[in-house]
Each structure stands twice: as C-alpha cells, then as structure tokens.
Structure 1
Amino acid sequence: MQHLTTLDASFLQAEDSDPHVSLAVGAVSIIEGPQPDYHELIEVFAERAHRIPRCTQIVRMRPFDLAAPEWVDDPYFDIGHHLHRVAVPAPGADAELFAMIATIMERRLDRDRPLWECWIIEGLAGGRWATLIKIHHCIADGIATAQMLAKLSDDGAGETFAADIRAARESGSSIVGLLRPRLNPVAWMSGAWRATLTAGSAAEHAIVGAAELTARVLAPGQESSLNGPVTGMRRFSAATVDLGVMKDVSRHFGVTLNDVALAAITSGYRNMLLARGESPGPRTLRTLVPVSMRSASDFDVTDNRVSAMLPLLPVDEPDPVRQLDIVHRRLLRAKGSGQREGGTAVFAAAGNIPFALSAWTIRFLTRLPQKSVTALATNVPGPRGRQRVLGRKVVEILPIPPIALHLRTGIAMLSYARRFSFGITADYDTAPDVDTLARGIENGVQCLADLCGVGRGPGSGVPARPNAEAANDKNPA
C-alpha cells in the first residue's frame, strides 16, 4: 500500500477549496483514420490500462486527514467506467474539437473510481479521430503523465525529450557521491568534508529560494482581468509551431527553447491585454512556471516531482527581441536564486509534519484570493518519435492544463516529434478571447523566426488554424 506524498495530496486539497475547478490534466492525440472498431478499442485499452497500476487504483482518504491518503486496488475496476465515446458536430474542425475538449475537461473525476478517463472523439475533418486522456494531477506531474500516455500507445514509452531537461541530466545526490566508500581514508575524509560544505551551501540556497518564492506570492501584482474567481465552464484553444523553427530561433539568439516559448507566450498575453483595452505593466504577468525535479532514473515513477519559479514575463515590452532577452535573463536569475530548490524544500519540510496539519494548511491557503500570480506556463517534454494507436499514426498531441487559484488562463506546452504545441485552458466567462492568445503565441514565434531568417516553407513555420477562432463562440454541453 502506497501513500500519496504531500505534494500529490495537495492537488486534491486545492481542488476541494473551489467547487468551480477540476485539477485534472489531459492530452488529446489526433489520429489518422480509419477509426478502429470501438469494441476493439475497449479490449486494447483495457489490456494496456491493467499494466499501469494507477489506472486500476483508487485514492483512500483517511478520516479527518489523520494520515496521508493511500493508493489501493479497485476491486470493482471496470474499463466501461473510464472509456467513453463521443462525436463532434460537423464539420469536425478545430472549432468543434476545442469546444468538445473544454466540455469534457469541465467535469471533475469521480473519486470513488480510479482517477482517469479516456474519451474517443469521432467525426473530425479529414477522416481523423482522437483520444482524450484525462488524469487527476494528484497521480502524476507532466513527465510522468506523458510516460503514462505513451504506455497506452502501440510502442509504449520510448525515447522522450524529457532526457534533455536539467534534472534528468543531473546525476544523483552530490553529497551521496562524495560520501561513497573509498579505499583511501584520506580521500574519504576529504570527501566527507566537501560533502558537509556542499550540504550547507545547498541548504542555504534552498532557504533563500523559498524566501524568494514566498515574497513573490505575498507581493500583489498589478490589477488585471487575468486574475480573479472562475466559473465552472471552460474554453480551450491551441497554437502549434514547428519544433525545428523553435530550435533555430533559440540557437540564433543563444537562449533556451523554453525561453523562446515563454517569450511567445509573453507576446500572446500582451496582444490579448491590449485588445481588451488594458495597459500591460511591468508587474502584470507574474507566471507560475513548474520545474521538473525528476531524474532520468525516475521517469517511470508515477507521482509529482516538481518545483516552481515565479518570474515576471515582460508584457510591458513591445519589442520581441527585447522580450526574449528579458525572459532569458529573468529565468537565469530565477534558476540561480534557488527558487526550484526552495519549492522542493518547502514540500519536503511539509512531509515531516503531521499530515493533518499540512492538509488543513493547504486547504486554508488555497481558499485565499491570491492576487500576485496571473498565469501558468508549464512545459512538458513529450515523445521524440511518432506514436501509433492500433496501427494508426498520431499526427499531433495537444496538452490540456487545469486552471485554479484565481488563474483564469493556463498554458501547457508539449514537444512531440517535430511539433511544439501550446494548449490553453481558460475560464468561459472571463476569457472569451482565448483564441486571440493562441494566435498571438503563433505570431510571436513567427516574428522571432522572421527576424533570424527562418522561413515559413512547407513543413516549417507556424501552421495556421483557420477554424479555431470559432471554437469558443459557443460551448455545447
């Protein structure tokens, strides 16, 4: 029997704090036809789901939170409770697909059953169909979720872009490495001394980072329509660009791929705020940027291993190159300040106090109307190779983030094969212009690409989504 970590359980507690939010994450795989027989799909997905423990386990809560929740096998597991079939209305373009995604993601997962669903979406234009996998965030973070989804494909979890992230490249604890047994006692003593110094330095770094994160959360940002209460309805939109173009831009300007993506997001939010008649200020877009702390050896471990940074994205800066430069410098500063280590330290410390106290504290804090953070931007590295489902090629994967804690929009990014996708979830009532944000992101990438001479030729540049603008005119139930 396995307990949820304090971080895992916090997603359940945050969901409890607001009846209008669902903290499920998702991904839509758009697949080339012809669509398989539905009964064949049920049989295949049932077999593959049984290979993933969390797909057949439920969360057992303890009375009064006296102990952490536990994962236990569901004795009544039935794939029929988790596999659903739906068709989009004609003509089955992005508009209809996005409206269906928003509708599916609005509803909370049933906590009396394993916390996932798979929706088979039929009727897409061009003879395509799709699968939408919906998983509660308490089960897994972005990388672990991507690994779970890959196991439902024909080839299973193969090579992933997650191998490129910082945490995956770092070997185990430096302290453990320094203290490993040595034949030479002098060398061992030297290693022990250096490990002590490293531990002290790391602890100090984490404390400074935790203090900085706390200060960022407590400092109110500029008043903006991006922050405030949300309703129970959602909108969804997406932007897709060529991964090769993103890499060319990052190499040309000497920045990371994530810097380019966040600069494009900055441009998109700036366009949206200006269209709303608001004046973007230097403190308008404090953004929650989750950071993976997962090593390569733990890719198959299903849980949450993330920390966070809280940079200000420069929506007040109109020049795209200066935007990118500011994003790059602020991300470097946030990484160097210890914010990622500080966030991890906070939840590690919470794991050492009675669970009831941490659970009640999280519920209390997440009920408070925070006004400092206004956006979410999470980057999920996906599969490097093309996936197939029952022999059919997956042509595109769109990530679906949740929104909560007074954030009215959230953006998830996912790299898959040669594409880089931005999935945008928004509150239905307060973000009717979510497609403006999506188009602004695509234009932001294209603008940077044009400045460094990357063309819009076949297979490159920013693919147009001409039908997406109508996706959120009406959200059919």
Structure 2
Amino acid sequence: MERLTAFDAGFLDAEDADRHVSLAVGAVSVLEGPVPDQHELVAAISERILRVPRLRQVVRRQPLDLSAPEWVDDPALDLAHHIRRAALPHPGDDEALFRFTAEAMETRLDRERPLWQCWIIEGLAEDRWAMLMKVHHCIADGIATMHLLAGLSDGGEGETYAGAIRAAHERPQNGFSLPALTLNPLRWAHIAWNTASALTATAAMTIGGAVEIVDSLVRPGSSSSLNGPVTTMRRYSAVQVPLARVASVCQAFDVTLNDVALAAITDSYRAALKRRGEEPRHNSLRTLVPVSVRSDDAAGRFDNRVSVMLPYLPVDEPDRVEQLQAVHRRLRRAKGGGQRQAGSAVVAAVKLVPFALATRAIRLLTSLPQRGVVALATNVPGPQHRLQVMGREVLRMLPVPPMALRLRTAVAILSYGDDLVFGITTDFDAFPDVDELAAGIAEAVTCLSAAAHHPRPTREPRG
C-alpha cells in the first residue's frame, strides 16, 4: 500500500483552500497529420498510459485525515472518462488552441477517478492535431510529469534536459560530505571538527534562507494588479524561441539558460505593468521559482521533489542587459543565501510531522491571503529530441502551469528539442493581455541575442 506524502497531499489541500483554482499541470503536444484512426489511437494511448500504475489509481483520504491518503487501484477504471476528443473551430489557429487549452485546464479533475485526462484535439491548421495531457500536481512535479509525457511517445522517454540540472548530479548529503572511515586516532579530532563546522555552516545558511522565505511571504509587496483573488476562468498563451539564440546570450554574458529565461520574463512583466499604468518598482515582482531537488536516480518516480526560491525580478530596471545581470546576481545570492536549502529542509520536516498536523497546517497556510509573491516561473527540462506518437512527429510541446495562492499569472519554461517554450496561464479577468505577455518574452530574447552579437544600448527611449 502506497501513501501520499504530506507534501504531495498539500497540493490537494491547496486546491481545497480556494474553490477557484485547479492544481493540475499539463502539456499540449502539437503533431503532424493526419490524425490516426480513432480506435487505433485510443488503443495505443491506453496501452501506454496503463503502464503507469499511478494513472490507474485513485486517492482515498482517511477519516478526519488522521493518516496520509492512500493510492488504491480504481476497481471501475473506465478510460472513456479520461481519453476525450474535441475539435477546434475553423481556422484551427493558435488562438483557438490556446482558448481550448485554458478551458480544459480550468476544470478540476474528478477525485473519484484517477487524476488525469488526455484530450485528442482535431481541426488544427496545416492538417495538424494535438494531445493535451492533464495530470494533478499531487501525482508529479514538472520533471516527473515530463517523463510521463515522454513515456507516451513511440520511443519511450529518451534523453531529456533534466540531466543538466544541478540536483541530478548531487548526492543527498545534507550539505556536506561524510568523511572516510579511519583507524588513526589523531585524525578523529580533525574529522570531528570539520564535520561540526560543516553542519554549523549548513545550518546557518539554511536558517538564513528560511528567514528570507518567511519574510517574503509575510511582508506585503507593492500594490499590484498581478496579485489578488482569482476567478475560475483562465487564459493561456505560449511562445517559443530557438535554444541556439538563448545559448548565444548565455555565452556572451556568462549566465545560465534559466537566467536568460527569467530576464525575458522580467522585461515582459515590466511592459505589462506599464500598460496598466503601474510604476515598476524594485519590489513589484517577487516571484516563486521552484527548484528541482530530484536526483538522477529518482527521475522516473512520480512524486514532487522541489524546493523554492523567492527572488525579486528587476522590473524597475529598463535596460535589458542590466536586467539579465541583475537576475543572475539575485539568483546566485538566493542560492548562496540558503533559500534552496531552507525549502528542502521544510519539505523534509513536513515528512516527519504527524500527517494530521501537517495537512491542517498546509490548509491554513494556503488559505491565507498572501500578498508578498505575485508570480510563478518554473523551468522544466524536456526531451532533447523531437518525439513521435504513432509515427507522427511532435512538432511543438507547450507547457501549461497551474495557478494558486492569489497568483494571477504563472509561466512555465520548457526546453524541447531545439526550442525553449514559454507557456503562460493567467486569470481570465485580471490578465486579458496574456498574448502580449508572451510576445514580450520573445521580443526580450531577440533583443538580448542582438546585444550579445552586436552590443548596443538597450534602454527604453526616454520621454
């Protein structure tokens, strides 16, 4: 019998805390045509999905939540409830696809059944079709979800960019390396001193990071239209840029891919605030940035293994290159300051607390009207090579992030093949200019690439 961890169950609790949110993650795969025969396609998808035990199971909560919920096999599993078909209205362009995606994702998954859906979408332009896979966050984080999606392809998972993240190569040693055993008594005092020093330094850094995270959540940010109550309706948009263009910026300015992506997001949010008549300030965009702590040997496990950082993105800086360098400094400071370690420590501590206490604490915290964090930006490494489903190539893969905790916008960053894709979910009423936000991200990457090849002023014109 398998049980949910308190952290995984926390996504169910967070969903319960706000009736306007649905905490499912998703991805849209756009494939070349023609669409396969209905029966053959359903049979192929069913066979691949049923290989994953978690997609055959339902969550069973215990009376009064005195113990953790269980994963149990669904005795009445009917794939007709999960594999569905839809057609876009003519002309089947991105606008229609994005509208359908938003509507499909805003509906909560039925907890009486396994927590996933797969939509087969016909009617796309250029004789294309699409698959939308929707999975509840309590099942998996971004990396685990991407492994699941890649596993539905003809060749299975294949190689992903997940191996490039730091956590994939780290050993879980709580911040220090265990010393080698020795029989030399003269070495014992030296080893004891070094171990104690490492533990003290790690503890100090973790405590410092925890203070920063709590301060970020408790202290209100500047008043912003990006934070506040949300409705049940969503908007969605996506944009992709060549990875080679991003790589050129990384090389020119000695930054990471994540730095470039967050800098592009920063510049587009700056433009969004200005469209609203709001002055971008240094504390206008405190952003929730999940950080994977999933080691390479846990890549195929379906659960959540993330920590968090909460940096301010520099929307008050008009120069795009300066934005990039500020993002790089702030993320490096957040990592070095212990936010990542503190987040991991909190997740580990939750596992040690009795479930009844942990779940009530999570419900309380997620129901509070926090005003310090205003956006989410998550980076998910995807397949390195284009996938195929029943011999049809997956031309595009678009990530779909969820929204919660009064965050009216969420951006997912996915590397797929030769592209870096930004998928954006927003509240329908509070953020109608989602397409402009997507276009601004692409424009910022283009401008940074131009600056990398031909340095020139990038400041906004004055006056």
TM superposition score category, shorter chain reference: over 0.9
- CA deviation string 1:13-48 (max 9, x = no partner): 000000100000000001001110111111111111
Equivalence for 1:167? 167
Structure 1 vs Structure 2 CA RMSD: 1.7
Equivalence for 2:151? 151
Equivalence for 1:342? 342
Equivalence for 2:235? 235
Q: Is the 8 A contact 1:181 1:188 kept in 2?
A: no
- Letter of the 1:403 partner, please give it: M
- Range with greater deviation from structure 2 (167-176 or 386-395): 167-176
- Alpha-carbon offset, residue 191 of structure 1: 5.2
Report whether the alignment pairs 1:205 with 2:205.
yes
Q: Structure 2-normalised TM-score?
A: 0.95
- CA deviation string 1:183-224 (max 9, x = no partner): 877778865654443333322222221111101111110001
- Letter of the 2:153 partner, please give it: S
- CA deviation string 1:241-291 (max 9, x = no partner): 001110111111111110000000001111111112111111110000000
Q: Please state whether the residue corresponding to 1:362 is helix, strand or coil.
A: helix
Report whether the alignment pairs 1:319 with 2:314.
no
Q: Please state whether the residue corresponding to 2:453 is helix, strand or coil.
A: coil
Distance change >3 Å, CA 205–CA 427, structure 1 → 2: same
- Range with greater deviation from structure 2 (404-413 or 1-10): 1-10
Distance 1:367 1:85 in 2: 35
- Letter of the 1:202 partner, please give it: T
- CA deviation string 1:40-81 (max 9, x = no partner): 111111111121111111111011110111111112222211
Distance 1:386 1:103 in 2: 27
Q: Is the 8 A contact 1:245 1:454 kept in 2?
A: no
Q: Structure 1-normalised TM-score?
A: 0.92
Equivalence for 1:48? 48
Distance change >3 Å, CA 317–CA 348, structure 1 → 2: same
Equivalence for 2:458? none
- Alpha-carbon offset, residue 323 of structure 1: 0.6
Distance 1:113 1:360 in 2: 24
Q: Please state whether the residue corresponding to 2:43 is helix, strand or coil.
A: helix
Distance change >3 Å, CA 185–CA 28, structure 1 → 2: farther
Distance 1:73 1:180 in 2: 45
Equivalence for 2:407? 407
Equivalence for 1:458? none
**Within 5 Å, which residues of 2 pair with 1:285-434?**
285-434=285-434
- Range with greater deviation from structure 2 (204-213 or 387-396): 204-213
Mark the runs of 5 or more structure 2 residues left unpaired by the alignment: 456-463
Q: Please state whether the residue corresponding to 2:64 is helix, strand or coil.
A: helix
- Alpha-carbon offset, residue 444 of structure 1: 0.6
Distance 1:51 1:197 in 2: 47
**Within 5 Å, which residues of 2 pair with 1:94-133?**
94-133=94-133
Distance change >3 Å, CA 41–CA 322, structure 1 → 2: same
Q: Please state whether the residue corresponding to 1:312 is helix, strand or coil.
A: coil
Distance 1:185 1:373 in 2: 52
- Alpha-carbon offset, residue 7 of structure 1: 1.3
- Letter of the 2:7 partner, please give it: L
Distance 1:10 1:231 in 2: 21
Q: Please state whether the residue corresponding to 2:227 is helix, strand or coil.
A: coil
Distance change >3 Å, CA 27–CA 182, structure 1 → 2: farther
Distance 1:236 1:202 in 2: 41
Equivalence for 1:74? 74
Q: Is the 8 A contact 1:8 1:304 kept in 2?
A: yes
- Letter of the 1:425 partner, please give it: T
- Alpha-carbon offset, residue 180 of structure 1: 5.9
Q: Is the 8 A contact 1:31 1:393 kept in 2?
A: yes
- Range with greater deviation from structure 2 (376-385 or 174-183): 174-183
Q: Is the 8 A contact 1:10 1:138 kept in 2?
A: yes
- Letter of the 1:126 partner, please give it: E
- Alpha-carbon offset, residue 182 of structure 1: 6.0
Distance 1:195 1:57 in 2: 44
- CA deviation string 1:281-329 (max 9, x = no partner): 1111000000000111110111000000000001111110111111110
Distance 1:323 1:175 in 2: 31
Q: Please state whether the residue corresponding to 2:156 is helix, strand or coil.
A: coil
Q: Please state whether the residue corresponding to 1:435 is helix, strand or coil.
A: helix
**Within 5 Å, which residues of 2 pair with 1:175-190?**
178-179=178-179
Distance 2:164 2:187 in 1: 33
Q: Please state whether the residue corresponding to 1:72 is helix, strand or coil.
A: strand
Distance 1:179 1:333 in 2: 28
Distance change >3 Å, CA 219–CA 392, structure 1 → 2: same
Mark the runs of 5 or more structure 1 residues left unpaired by the alignment: 456-477
Q: Please state whether the residue corresponding to 1:28 is helix, strand or coil.
A: strand
Of all paired residues, the percent bearing the same amino acid is 57
Distance 2:151 2:57 in 1: 17
Q: Please state whether the residue corresponding to 2:138 is helix, strand or coil.
A: coil
- Range with greater deviation from structure 2 (329-338 or 345-354): 345-354
Q: Please state whether the residue corresponding to 1:285 is helix, strand or coil.
A: coil
Q: Please state whether the residue corresponding to 2:413 is helix, strand or coil.
A: strand
**Number of aligned pairs?**
455
Equivalence for 2:244? 244
Distance 1:154 1:186 in 2: 59
- CA deviation string 1:134-169 (max 9, x = no partner): 000011111111011111111111111010111112
Distance change >3 Å, CA 79–CA 241, structure 1 → 2: same
Q: Please state whether the residue corresponding to 1:452 is helix, strand or coil.
A: helix
Distance change >3 Å, CA 282–CA 191, structure 1 → 2: same
Distance 1:215 1:56 in 2: 41
- Alpha-carbon offset, residue 175 of structure 1: 7.5
Distance 1:301 1:201 in 2: 31
Q: Is the 8 A contact 1:178 1:194 kept in 2?
A: no
**Within 5 Å, which residues of 2 pair with 1:23-62?**
23-62=23-62
Distance 1:343 1:175 in 2: 13
Distance 2:400 2:181 in 1: 46
Q: Please state whether the residue corresponding to 1:224 is helix, strand or coil.
A: coil
Q: Is the 8 A contact 1:248 1:454 kept in 2?
A: no
Equivalence for 2:65? 65
